Structure formats: C-alpha cells, structure tokens
C-alpha cells in the first residue's frame, strides 16, 4: 500500500494540534489538577493550599461512608453487568438462530446505547415512580409493594435495571457479532455429531464466545463505575439513606455540595486508577486474545 508522507512537518503538526489541545484541556489538565488537589488542602473559596501528602487518601480509607459507597458501587456493577450481559446473551442466541446472515437491523439495535444516561434516568424515573408511573398501578393492587423512595434495595434495583437497559443493546450487538463469526460448519458438525440446540450452545457457541464475553465484561464494569452518574442523579440522588450513593455520585456530592474539594479529588483519583486498571486488563487481554488456530 502507498503511504502519504507530509513533506512539510508543519502541516502534520497543524493537523494534530487540535486533537492534542482537546486531550490536554479536557483530560491531562483536569487530571493533573485532581491529583494535585488530592495531595493538598484545597480551600473552598480559593486561596493558598498546603501540602497534605496522602492524608486525604488515608482519611478516605478509614471512612465507613466511603466503604459503604464502594460496596453499593460493587453491587451496582455486579447487578448491571449480570443483568445487562445475561439478557443480551439470551437475546443474541435467539436472534442468531433465527436471523443468520441479516446484518442491517443491527444498526437499529445500537440506539439505546447512544441515549444519554440522564435521559434514560428520566424515562425510568417515570416508569418506576411509585405514585405516578407504571409501578403506581402495581402499588394500587398491592399497597406499598414498591417504594424506591423509602426502601433502599428498591432504589438500587431501579438504577440497576436502568443501567442494564442502557447496555443491553451494546452487549447484544457484540454478542451477536461474536456468534455470527462462529463458522456455520462448526454448528453443523456438532449437529451431525448428535447434539441438539441447547447442547450446541453449551459445547460450541458459548466456549467460542469467551473472548467477546471478557471484552464486554470489562466494558460493562468500567461503564458502571463511570457512566452511572446521570442515572443516579436523575432517579435517586444517591438515596434513600445513601443506598444508591455510588462512588461517582459521591464525588459530586462531596465536591460540589459538601465543598470538600480535596476529598472529592482523592476519590476521583481512586476511581480513575480503578478504570485505568480495568482498561489495562482489557488491553492485555485483547493483546493475548485466545488463539484457536
């Protein structure tokens, strides 16, 4: 293949500059600020900042409220991932059987992923509203069965469902693509070998889907840590009684409502390290993709 080389390095630089600028302004600058803040005592209204070292981190790690937030974040991560991936996988297995070869409709399925989290939160807030929404009818029949405003695990279930719904379409597309890339002849060979539909799924399709599975798993967990803010903010505000106070939401509350910039900065650094670790795992995994042939 022919490659184009820029004779003039100036042109290359000019083309790359906007990108670099954006990355710098929206990533490196705030990130370094957060790291700096997390290591100092930051005044709410500006002014001097004194060096704090790891003080904020030590304080966080001994704060039971922080650990409570970590706990609900893990519950949320597990819930959305299991629900979102499970349903997507089941759907993909069914669609793969029926629609082998059809590819166009997949584009339509990706849209929910493109819907912003707050919009999803608003939609589900209506659906799950105990007095005005769909669930209100259930409450009418069976008084008080559904009350996410007072009952912690109801609220958690609510945001888990909303979060899972957001990811199902995305997961589904990847699962379906993974299933469709399994050679048809393998399925046929196993049919000749005597296995039925379920057996084929278990022995052939699911094992061959593991690379896709791990990829989606990491994406989903990362997403549950970072992209859950909009859902919590619109649906529960972290309540009731911090039952849905996810790490990413707690950063916002502590920082912008509690004016505790340093602690919030330390929390975002921890979250960032978590996400970086997950991304690292993913790259490592993609690099060393299970090779079959």
Partner 1 sequence: MADISIRDVRKVYGKDEVIHGVNLAIHNGEFIVILGPSGCGKSTLLRMIAGLEDISGGEIAIAGTVVNDLEPRERGCAMVFQNYALYPHMTVGGNIGYALKVAGVKRAERDAKVRAVARSVGLEEFIDRKPGQLSGGQRQRVAMARAIIREPKVFLFDEPLSNLDAKLRVQMRHEIRRIHNRIGATSVFVTHDQHEGMTLADRMVIMNKGTIDQVGTPEEVYNRPATTYVAGFIGSPAMNFLSGEVRAGESAVALADGSRIALTPAAARAFDGRLVQIGLRPEALALCAPGEGALRARFDFYEEMGSDGLHHLMVEDVPLSVLSAHKQRMPEGQEVGVTVPPEVVHLFDVESGQRLEAGPGAVATIKRMEHAE
| Residues near partner 1 (CB under 8 A) | 183, 185-186, 188-196, 199, 203-204, 207-208, 291-293
- The residue behind tokens 């030590």 is 58
Given a contact cutoff of 8 angstroms between Cβ atoms, the answer to whether 143 and 254 are in contact is: no
Between 207 and 258, name the residue whose CB sits nearer to partner 1. Answer: 207
Q: Cβ 35 to partner 1, closest distance in Å?
A: 44
Q: If you write DSSP's letter for every residue of 53-85 in order, what string do you get?
A: TTHHHHHHHT-HHHHHHHHHHHHHHHHHHHHHH
Nearer to partner 1, 190 or 260 (CB): 190
Nearer to partner 1, 175 or 261 (CB): 175
Burial of 184 (0-12, 13-18, 19+ CB in 10 A): exposed
Minimum gap (Å) between residue 210 Cβ and partner 1: 8
Q: Smallest distance, Å, CB 183 to partner 1?
A: 7
CB nearer partner 1, residue 47 or residue 196: 196
Distances (CA, A) of 229 to 159, 182, 221, 292: 10, 37, 14, 39
User: For residue 51, how many C-alpha atoms fall within 13 Å in the half-sphere facing its CB?
Assistant: 1
> How many Å apart are CA 262 and CA 33, to the nearest integer?
10
Place of tokens 């994406």: 219
**Smallest gap, in angstroms, from Cβ of residue 252 to partner 1?**
45
Closer to partner 1 by CB, 12 or 186: give it.
186
C-beta separation of 225 from 205 below 8 A = no
Beta carbon of residue 98, minimum distance to partner 1 (angstroms, whole number)? 15
């Amino acid at each position: 293949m022919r490659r184009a080389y820029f004779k003039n390095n100036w042109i290359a630089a000019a083309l790359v500059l906007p990108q670099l600028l954006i990355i710098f302004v929206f990533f490196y600058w705030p990130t370094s600020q957060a790291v700096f803040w997390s290591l100092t005592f930051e005044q709410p209204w500006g002014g001097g900042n004194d060096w704090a070292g790891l003080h904020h981190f030590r304080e966080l790690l001994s704060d039971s409220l922080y650990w409570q937030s970590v706990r609900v974040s893990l519950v949320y991560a597990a819930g959305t991932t299991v629900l979102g991936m499970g349903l997507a996988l089941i759907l993909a297995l069914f669609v793969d059987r029926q629609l082998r070869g059809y590819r166009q409709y997949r584009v339509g399925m990706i849209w929910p992923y493109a819907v912003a989290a707050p919009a999803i939160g608003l939609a589900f807030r209506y659906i799950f509203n105990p007095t005005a929404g769909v669930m209100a009818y259930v409450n009418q029949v069976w008084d008080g069965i559904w009350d996410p405003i007072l009952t912690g695990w109801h609220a958690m279930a609510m945001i888990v469902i909303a979060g899972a719904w957001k990811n199902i379409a995305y997961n589904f597309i990847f699962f379906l693509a993974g299933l469709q890339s399994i050679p048809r002849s393998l399925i046929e060979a196993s049919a000749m070998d005597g296995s039925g539909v379920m057996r084929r799924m278990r022995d052939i399709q699911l094992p061959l889907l593991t690379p896709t599975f791990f990829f989606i798993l990491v994406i989903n967990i990362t997403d549950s840590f970072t992209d859950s803010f909009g859902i919590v903010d619109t649906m529960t505000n972290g309540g009731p009684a911090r039952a849905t106070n996810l790490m990413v939401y707690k950063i916002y509350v502590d920082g912008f409502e509690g004016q505790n910039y340093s602690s919030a900065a330390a929390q975002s650094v921890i979250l960032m390290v978590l996400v970086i670790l997950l991304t690292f795992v993913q790259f490592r995994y993609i690099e060393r993709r299970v090779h079959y042939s």
